[in-house]
Amino acid sequence: MNAPASDKVFAGSVPRFYQEHMVPLIFEPYARDLAQRVAALEPARVLEIAAGTGVVTRHLASMLPPGTDIVATDLNPGMIDMGRELGTSQPVQWRQADAMQLPFADAEFDVVVCQFGVMFFPDKAKAFAQARRVLEPGGALLFSVWDRIEENEIADLVTQALARVFPRDPPRFMARTPHGYFDPAAIERDLQAGGFSAPPRIETIAARSVAASPHAAAQAYCQGTVLRNEIEARDAARLDEATNACAAAIAQRWGNTRVDGKIQAHIVTALR
């Protein structure tokens, strides 16, 4: 699937909705695990790419020893601003940066980490090459990507519901981008093209996505992700209608109270 440029744009109200709704819904369950993996490597210098609003960053800051150099970057200034506003338990350097053109010296970091950002990189091999360049010999790249959309229940339901709202031009952002880079063979090929010669370790981990209500889950997806851009591009006046249609589909599956759906992701470790 070819991703339009808008798939990378987290702007306007999206960063705040993303932080308030999407982070607890699907990102928090994996953030602590990824930060623990980084901490186990005992790094002195850590670079986070596609940090978003900093859910992993905050865990890194709390788990790593005081004085660890932590640099958190994202392509979207709005996400960086939100992360900086939320704060961390020890100093973090926040910088706007493109993962495919990292503004850092060769071998500057022990670890490069990225939670659910790789799927948005237009040239993944180039981004991996940049991560490898800034890693010291023996350093590690750790990142997570979502598994196929069918293994992620709420995202799949939302995509199906929106196809009924916009049958002539269904919004396919979730399947195309967040859940479009799930093939371990493709991931390994791109890592090799980026210069990582050793086979990566790829672990598939299921978790639970919990929301207080169907509407909370629907609002997270429809208004806290770039999916909002796709809905509004079709008809901005129908954003609430689309959100409500997704909420109805979620309620049909789980009822009108607490939502508890399966989510699944790959955790990848590649050594320089």
Binning the chain into helix, strand and coil, the percentages to the nearest 5 are 50, 20, 30
Residue 83 Cα to chain centre, angstroms: 14
Residue 211 Cα to chain centre, angstroms: 18
The correct answer on CATH 3.40.50.150 for the domain covering 5-271 is yes
pLDDT tens-digit profile, the chain (272 residues): 455 544 444 545 566 777 888 888 899 999 999 999 999 999 999 999 999 999 999 999 999 999 999 999 999 898 899 999 999 999 999 999 999 999 999 999 999 999 999 999 999 999 999 999 999 999 999 999 999 999 999 999 999 999 999 999 999 999 999 999 999 999 999 999 999 999 999 999 999 999 999 999 999 999 888 899 899 999 999 999 999 999 999 999 999 999 999 999 999 999 99
d(CA 70, CA 10): 23
Q: Are 51 and 93 in contact (CB under 8 A)?
A: no
| Segments making up each domain of the chain, as ranges | 5-271
- Helix H, strand E, coil C: the string for 54-76 is CHHHHHHHHHCCCCCEEEEEECC
DSSP 139: E
Question: What Rg do the C-alpha atoms of the chain give, in angstroms?
Answer: 18
